[in-house]
Structure 1
Amino acid sequence: MSLVLESAGGKGRDGLARNHQYVPALLLLLHRLRDRQAVLLTALVASANLSAQPESQRTLLAGPLELAGVTDIERLRLDITSAQGRIGMPAGAKKEGNNRKRLQLRLDVPGYGPGDAGLLAADLAAPPAGGSQVWPNAGELLRSLIGDEIRTVSGNPNMVLAVHGDTALVRTGRSPTGQPVGIGEVQKGLDKLAGLRSVRVNVDELGHRSAFVGAVLATLPGAQFTDNPATVTLSTSIRLQTGSDPAFAVLDGVAQVKIRKEQAQLRNLLAGDRAQAACALCGHEYPMGFLVAAHVKRRAVCSDDERRDLNHVAMLACSFGCDALYESGWITVDEHGHVRTTSLAGLPESRLRQQLQHLDGRRCTAHSDRSEPYFAWHRGTVFRGTSTP
């Protein structure tokens, strides 16, 4: 299989550089591939304008390289990106070219066959098992936010324009060309939030640039603003992991905010204004806080059209087991709309066995002719095995 990372550079319609998180994204992917014992067969530049060149002239790293044996993933990332600068440049050129070109990693990943590209993509997109998040340092966090609009608790837009040394240049409504903010001020806020898990956005707690520091803290995974008084609070479900690459938290934080908003929208669409609703799998009714909008087909592998088909690609599933059982492939829904479980042979008497027996054969209320293709994907991709008779 091949993993392709699109190039960075230029400006999009939103004014941001295209794929501006190229480096932290590549670093994150290499870490997650190492966790899956992947073997990197080769890495090469895959730019369209260089496709006529032989692969030998576009190769950045010749494998096979067992990632499990790589202790310095940042060094590997640097080797891959720095080697790109000379690719495609004329002989004798004094300057190197773009080192964030379109990249192709050819891979052998244990447990994933030639037809499992979509499944591997979905698994690589998921945060680390156990929900732990990596805690960034202030400099790396601010660099990851360059060009992104972040809003203070009062709604005022701020933007990090550049980070140099121990100072960040920050644009505000009053200072369109930017004002310097000490990175140390942000670091103090990070340290305080890590220790207390909740800090008030005021001068006493976050210094004289408290509004900006608070806005930066709110971009962290599991962090959110609350009013009266203005406070940034870190979810108690987030376990902090320090000493690892800081870019992970930034990327996961963006995803978490996006997913949290989408969850609320999906649940409203599926349940309307009801205070409680039934789980599509077990049929029991619960208050909305105990139901999640579960994707029948994993969102990461859905096409744009499928993602917009919200009434059929998602269903309400309870957080008392049905969502996790479906997501992990212990249960699926057959072509007739009935819940089926993986084989119970050898499974000891337990609460899990009882739950699976209860679910097997039940009618899934989310199944229809329109949703069947999504359930078929789940049966063929995620479901663990043969359903019970």
Structure 2
Amino acid sequence: MFARDDNGDELNAEFSVVADGERLSLVMESAGGRGAGPQPRNNQYNSALELLLARLRDRQAVVVSGVVASTRAARLPEEERSIVRVPINLADERDIEQVRKQITRASGKVGLKDGTAKEGNNQKRIELRLEVPGYGPDDAERLEAELAAPHSAGALPRAEELLRGLTGETISTPTGKENRILKVGDGAVLVGTDRSPEGQPVPLDDIQHGLDVLASRGTLQVSVEELGHRSTFVGAVLANLPHVSRDPSSATLTLDSSGAEPDATDVHYGELDVQAQVKVRTEQGRLRRLLANGRESAPCALCGDEFPVQFLVAAHVKKRAACTDAERRKLRDIAMLACSFGCDVLYEAGWVTVDETGCIRTVELDGLPAGSLTLRMHQLAGRRCGAYREASEPYFAWHRTTTFLGKLAG
């Protein structure tokens, strides 16, 4: 098998993945000499090995051990042909080139006589014994094919882009726990939970790892072994992507790159096509401009005051995580502009809702201390919601029955 880099160019370096007892092994064929074509045999050995190690890192693989596996070296005791004496956890390695050099330099010393200073051929046939989460000895062909395929660069958003698009939203894990995306920055996303409403940081690298695995493999298991100790949160974020399906029985996410094209008139997904035709959420800025019809300022759908668009939030009438893929396409029906001066939070937290006549209803105000909150609620009560219409009523109805903290008469 020959691997293709992320540009789709085939590298002249033959490799294979084979079953090795209870594990899998990556075998790199030696370089040098005359190849079948005009190029020397496997003359891109180093580049290919680095590429394969990087793709194994995406799968959190561990190089348990490694040996030179040439015909000549096979006569030596395994200890003398060992090139990886301490397991290498690739997930912890940021500089894959140095890992590759460590392996090839060690291979160059195998077979040399004691006291020989000069390094020998460091592009020998080698075998790297692996532990790869989610892969067993029966998965050799699958892993080989996945390692050879170009990484789906751009098929999914970067972690920061995805989470900025989810900022302000609440997503649910498979166990029903809610996580509110509070802020993105400084290499982490701040996530609020019932236990930590002020938020706890989760490294963006954790989410990016999940995106990389999903993009390159097409499927992943939501588990600590696969995604780390925040696996349920990372899985919930990834499940929020359109065309990603979740199998609750096996906690597996699958990327469907053959999903139907979106309605060309729906700008929620417009201009978001990327490689592999996966649709992803656009950022809040574009959503706000869509709902504001391209204007620099627009009214809040709840209080009616007009603000520059940067002070408005594209708030989902029905929580986005609860929407079907078809509902997510109907941005003008499931989203509204709400100001960041209280209206967005009040609606999201269930302190206000919109009734079946399109009027804003609030929780009981008796008992609330006098102040700006009470004044704000009085100002909202009974107002006509600017985003209410027949097409959006089912989504407001969902909010009334699942999120609103008060009771509606009748």
Q: Which structure has greater helix proportion?
A: 1
Q: TM-score range by the shorter chain?
A: 0.3 to 0.5
Q: Structure 1 length as normaliser, TM-score? A: 0.41
Q: Structure 2 length as normaliser, TM-score? A: 0.39
Larger radius of gyration: 2
